[in-house]
Amino acid sequence: MRTLLKFLTALLLIGSTNGIAGESDSGCLTRGTGDMGIIVERASGSLKIVDRTSHSILFHVDGLGDLSHASAVYSRDERYAYVFGRDGGLTKVDILCGKITKRVIQGGNSIGGAISQDGTMIAVSNYEPGGVKIFSAADLSLVADIPATQVTEKKGAKTVGLVDAPGQRFVFSLYDTGEIWLVDMSNPSKPVIEKHQNIGLQPYDALISSDGRYYIAGLFGEDGLSMMDLWHPEQKPRKILENYGRGNKKLPVYKMPHLEGWAMAGGEAFLPAMGQHQVLVAQRGSWKETGRIKVHGQPVFVMARPDGRQVWVNFAFPNNDTIQVIDTESKQVVKTLTPGKGALHMEFSPRGEEIWISIRDRDEIHVFNTSTMELTHKLSVKKPSGIFFTNRAHQTGL
């Protein structure tokens, strides 16, 4: 009997081991998700699900609608990606099965979203009709509908810069009315909303520091940014970096900078300057300017390698074929790469040994070694834009 039990146990272990990186009878993968991610195919409303270690494509997923400005967050277990489409679609994708599990059209023009601290709620911000809607992460049922300040009889203000914050809160800005709102969802049936007005002209995007303390909104209508200390939400948001554009003629803005992937390195923040060919450097805490770095064009994403040693920058049209690498110690551009037109989205591996870059006009993803800054791999992806790895599930604001 003991011999038989040992034999059966061995068979179970072998089957379990073989199933870790295999495929179940349902066609779903039986493996961990820690080195997986999704790549948005913006022109076809589809996704590629990828293996970051093998640099391979695992699944192709269709039917996600308009992904021309798509973003995504992950469930706490990293199995589900929640994709926010420009058509107002919110789509839950099972990345181990390569299929859509639920999709709702929740607005007319969506511009991003966030997942709550405990992973139970998904918030979506909208240009049309304005406001934020909050859904159950389990089944995408509506939990709360938060209308924005009205700007016309039928339309609310555009909501932008939506992020999650500690304490079961969401934070977002209102573009048309110059406001920052905090929404406390500790009791989902009774959201508590705190409104801060007159924070600056036309906040267009925002970021939150990785520790969840500082929320910073970029301003399109004036120089500078508006910063709120979430440890002290009773204090009015204050202006920072107000003088970076003074005396300089602003250039036409071909693409709004993105603040979500901002760079923190060595106690300093590296931020894209609106309407300038500059990366701004500010001291964390005091938020006083400590430097400016001249770069190739108008920066869109300014992203720090996870160890903070480098900052990688891409640019708006007509300079969107170029990537520059800044050494954060010397604050000098140390490498200029020209991977091709439409170098849009960048994503570091969790420990920073690689960076994946979407090259839209070549229908390719380029993977670079961040130490040598050399191209190591290419993946064929149709009109790629956003790249989102599963480690985002465990980071505030991403």
User: What length does the chain have?
Assistant: 398
For residue 309, name the pLDDT band (cuts at 50, 70, 90). very high
> What single letter denotes the amino acid at residue 290?
T
**Mean pLDDT over each residue of the chain, to the nearest integer:** 89
The Cα 3–Cα 225 span in angstroms is 71
Supply 297's token pair: 């064009």
**Dihedral angle of Cα 378, 379, 384, 389, to the nearest 10 degrees:** -100
Task: Give yes or no for residue 14 having a pLDDT over 70.
Answer: no
Q: Would you say 88 and 107 are in contact if contact means Cβ atoms under 8 Å apart? A: yes
* More confident call, 89 vs 247: 89
Handedness of CA 2, 4, 5, 10 (dihedral sign): positive
Could you tell me the pLDDT band of residue 207, with boundaries at 50, 70 and 90? confident
- pTM for the full predicted model: 0.90
Q: What does DSSP assign to residue 147?
A: P
Q: At 117, which helix (H) or strand (E)?
A: none
Residue labelled with tokens 């954060």 = 328
pLDDT tens digits for range 124-182: 999 888 999 999 999 999 999 999 999 988 889 999 999 999 999 999 999 999 999 99
Q: Any residues with CB less than 8 A from the CB of 249 and at least 6 apart, and which?
A: none
Cβ neighbors of 194 (< 8 A, separation 6 or more) are: 181, 182, 183, 184, 233
